[in-house]
Amino acid sequence: MARRGFNVFFLTALALSSALQAAKPPADPAAALGRAQELIDNGRAEEALPLVEPFASGSKPDPRALLLRGTARLMIGQTADGQKDLERSLALDPSQRQGWLNLAGVHIAAKRYPEALDALAKAEHLDPQAPDNDLNAGAVLLLQGKLQPASDRFSRYLARNASADGYYLVATNYALAGYNALAAQNLRQAISLNERARLRARTDANFADLTGNAQFQEILGSDTWRAPAGALVAEQIYAAPYQGEGKLLDAVLSALQSLREPFDPRVEVTDGWALIWGEYRIKLSPAPGGKGKVELFANPGQMTPAQWQQRSERLFREILLRLAR
């Protein structure tokens, strides 16, 4: 199975700017390196290089400048030169945690897993409480095929970061390593904490190998969300049937646009239901007799009952008008 990059907090693959803007670096090294860091963080590695060059060259280079130049070089594909810069930077100042993380990323890309774990151990020593320590080490251990040690590190990570994002990252690492049951287990937990994780998983290349997996498809097709106590709820039945990307969904989206109701254009559509997220949750589903149902849910206290009634009735009327056209 072809392996893709694991979800660890090393170098981020960012889009590069096509325009190289020559800039004279400020006399103040801190200002120049700070600006270079901003450019790198925004994916503009080529623009950062002229800023760091004066401080990364010569017989007494600045360790931070070397780290930034090495990072920028790695981002534009100059792997060998980038690794040399990182190693020299860390030799001068081994207290740079990000440098060890970046170096670990280089070793992972080259499948030098023992060297990657060694770099990660140095990063962990510098900040034992950093939440990404266990996630990073677990990902590399999975690459080595060491399931139990990897799972132990993931469990420690989740004990500190029991969030939807935390479970989602662990799920992607298991998915990439081919542990489908563990990937599904953690993805379910992520969705239970934030149902938007399900939509995220639909288009995530990290789950590409699970496309034909029945358990994964069952997760994507299930809506297990339940309205919290005190939620504001309204529903309306329409003669138009629910048909996925059909007339009823088109009418709801058109009504929202007409009323200038904000909503996320990334609509989640299945054979059994569709979800639209905006100021409140909108669910479309089949109703008895070949009809369609539209349900609205708002969080408790989000608005007064009178405001909710006015908003929901206005939307329901607009949907009916759109269906009549």
CATH for 61: 1.25.40.10
Residue linked to tokens 């409480």: 129
Q: Is the pTM of this model over 0.85?
A: no
C-alpha separations of 39 from 14, 99, 254 in Å: 11, 17, 40
Q: What is the torsional sign of CA 32, 38, 41, 44?
A: negative
Last residue of a domain, one of 68, 100, 131: 131
Buried b (16+ CB within 10 A) or exposed e, 312-321: beebbebbee
**pLDDT digits (tens), the chain, 325 positions:** 444 444 444 433 333 233 333 344 445 788 888 898 888 888 888 988 888 888 888 888 989 989 999 999 999 899 999 999 999 999 999 999 999 999 999 999 999 999 999 999 999 999 999 989 999 999 999 999 999 999 999 999 999 999 999 999 999 999 988 899 999 999 999 999 999 999 999 989 999 888 888 899 999 999 999 999 999 999 999 999 999 999 999 999 999 999 999 999 999 999 999 999 999 999 999 999 999 999 999 999 999 999 999 999 999 999 999 999 8
Last residue of a domain, one of 101, 131, 161: 131
Here the tokens at position 30 are 């801190």
Q: Residue 263: which CATH number?
A: 3.30.70.60
Q: For residue 233, give the 3-state DSSP assignment.
A: strand
Whether residues 124 and 236 share a domain: the answer is no
> Radius of gyration over alpha carbons of the chain, in Å?
25
Last residue of a domain, one of 115, 131, 147: 131
Residue 143 contacts by C-beta under 8 Å, 6 or more apart in sequence?
Answer: 3, 6, 108, 111, 113, 177
Residues 236 and 253: their CA atoms lie apart, in Å, by 15
Length in residues, the chain: 325
Q: How far apart are the first and last CA of the chain?
A: 51
**What pLDDT score does 29 carry?**
80
Residue 158 contacts by C-beta under 8 Å, 6 or more apart in sequence?
Answer: 166, 167, 170
Number of compact structural domains in the chain:
2
> Which of these, 215, 112, 225, 96, lies nearest to 164 by C-alpha position?
225
Residue 236 sits in which domain range? 232-323
Residue linked to tokens 């358990």: 215
